[in-house]
Amino acid sequence: MSPTAAYAELLAKLKRAHLLHTVNGILGWDEQVNLPPDSADLRAEQLAVVTELEHAAAGDPRIGELLDELESRQADLSPDERVVVKVARRDYDRVVKLPPEFVKERARQGSLSYHAWASCRERSDFAGFAPFLQKQLDLARKEAAYLGYDAAPYDYMIDRHDPGMTAGAVEALFAELKKGLVPLVRAIAASPVEAHAERLRGFPEALQRTLLSEVTERIGFNYRRGRMDVSLHPFCEGSGADIRMTTRFDEDRPLDALFSAIHETGHGMYEQGMPLALQGTPLGEAVGMGVHESQSRFWENQVARSRGFWRCFEPRLRELFPEQLRTVSSEQLYLAINAVKPTLIRMDADEVTYNLHIILRFELEKRLFAGSLAVADLPAAWNAAAKELLGLTPPDDRHGVLQDVHWACGMFGYFPSYCLGNMIASQLWEKVRGEVPGLEEDFARGDFSRLLGWLRRNIHEQGRRYDTQELVKVVTGAPLTPQPLLRYLRERYGALYLR
């Protein structure tokens, strides 16, 4: 078989598995956006059968044969082809090392655990949830062992979300970040300047929709290959050929819908920025969660909380909501957009204190996997860390250790990606501002094309060519570090709160 034929057959096999993945994606999106309340049983069965078929397609033994063949003919491959073979091998080995019965058991337990979490959270009942969490931890350790990470299961948890990253690397980055962040948060808390986001009330949903459609289209989302709907928790699903994003509306929290939408649009534009013809192959897929979050955070924070951005959109905002903003000055509006206030709930956190929520979770996950923290002791450890990092003590576990869904679904090692995303976004922000001067003036004119073009060339079009840290180094010329994030936060929030 010629390498060309083998390569073509490999791509076809990868795309077939990817297609089933996108079918799963539509079913998942529909579940959160459209599913009638009593139809969840059918949807669970549909997801199970498609997941099983996707797993079989991704672990098709023919992929292994083709990879063997292509690896023995490296010299005949182009650099792009070598990237595809290398990454496909990594994926394939992970898929086939997991026994189908394990994959089935993991899915079944995930579903049980999710429902247990939802009802225990409602009742603030950690003891009820603990056995499920223990089971999730056991399954995660088992999975790590199947994949050769017996000795360092948490490294696997990190790596599967951010390829190439280790728990040790994250620990060093977070320690450095924490050192700079805690004093900044204290200084802001002590500032006499106060934001009043609660003054923004009575923004009709229909007009909020108009605004966020205009904003997200203007920054560059292609609505001919995507849409925006409503769900309980905002998310973004799909590949560049069909992106489904969601947001949620509250008439008294207009900034929540808008910034959620811009965040998801950042995810969506990353997927849309990858070449359509390569979708389903490693050159048309995202690096990992950290880089994905860097794109959503970049647009949500670096761009949409800037003064330039609001020079463009404030007039339109006031046109749509003249009465609601009559007594709110421009400076008050901008301060509300950049409000900083420690909160117990991660999902309500501002972009400064958000990182402390992540550090808290990372430290607890690390100890859980090291065996130095037992599940039963988790609530106390959580509350102590919340007091230390945020200066707040949860009144109950619902506002503490039970607040997030991730652990219930076995998504250990996922939280760090949020904070890595913030670091990467800031490091890209410093770089692009150096290379493309006058960006904020672009924003003020409503022109986001130079910025989006730069992100496309440097991040989106790279696909999975590089691992997380390699990509940051290639694009910015420096290793990943929290210093740009600290500089960015000090610059933006120092100017507002510490003047």
Could you give the residue numbers annotated as active site?
264
Residue among 488, 487, 469 nearest 479 (CA): 469
Nearer to a second copy, 20 or 116 (CB): 20
- Using a CB cutoff of 8 Å and minimum separation of 24, what contacts does 481-484 make? 481/173, 481/176, 481/423, 481/427, 482/173, 482/174, 482/176, 482/177, 482/180, 482/423, 483/176, 483/180, 484/423, 484/426, 484/427, 484/429, 484/430
CB of residue 241 vs a second copy: minimum separation in angstroms? 4
Cβ(296)–Cβ(245) below 8 Å: no
Q: Which structure tokens are listed for 218?
A: 């203007």
Q: Which residues bind a second copy (CB under 8 A)?
A: 16, 19-20, 22-23, 26-27, 30, 34-39, 41-43, 45-46, 49-50, 53, 222-227, 239, 241-243
d(CA 283, CA 273): 11
CB of residue 275 vs a second copy: minimum separation in angstroms? 14
CB of residue 102 vs a second copy: minimum separation in angstroms? 21
Q: Which structure tokens are listed for 385?
A: 């860390």
d(CA 64, CA 70): 10
Chain position carrying tokens 């223990």: 134
Nearer to a second copy, 59 or 416 (CB): 59
CB of residue 227 vs a second copy: minimum separation in angstroms? 6
> What angle in degrees, to the nearest 10, is found between the helix axes of 40-58 and 3-33?
170
CB of residue 222 vs a second copy: minimum separation in angstroms? 8
CA 366 centroid distance within chain: 20
Nearer to a second copy, 49 or 190 (CB): 49
For residue 164, give every residue at least 6 positions away whose Cβ sits within 8 Å of its Cβ, in sequence order, or none.
467, 468, 469, 470
CB of residue 217 vs a second copy: minimum separation in angstroms? 13
CB of residue 11 vs a second copy: minimum separation in angstroms? 14
CB of residue 152 vs a second copy: minimum separation in angstroms? 37
Nearer to a second copy, 231 or 481 (CB): 231
Nearer to a second copy, 213 or 332 (CB): 213
Nearer to a second copy, 26 or 152 (CB): 26
d(CA 292, CA 287): 7
Question: Rg of the Cα trace of the chain?
Answer: 23
Residue among 93, 102, 198 nearest 148 (CA): 93
d(CA 356, CA 382): 12
Nearer to a second copy, 62 or 196 (CB): 62
| Alpha-carbon torsion (110, 115, 118, 124), positive or negative | negative
Q: What is the dihedral of CA 127, 128, 132, 137, to 10 degrees?
A: -10
For residue 295, give every residue at least 6 positions away whose Cβ sits within 8 Å of its Cβ, in sequence order, or none.
266, 267, 269, 270, 421, 425, 455, 459, 460
- Report the largest interatomic distance among the alpha carbons of the chain, rounded to a whole angstrom: 74
Nearer to a second copy, 31 or 430 (CB): 31
> What angle in degrees, to the nearest 10, is found between the helix axes of 307-320 and 205-219?
150
Nearer to a second copy, 36 or 322 (CB): 36
Q: What is the DSSP letter of 301?
A: I
CB of residue 160 vs a second copy: minimum separation in angstroms? 26
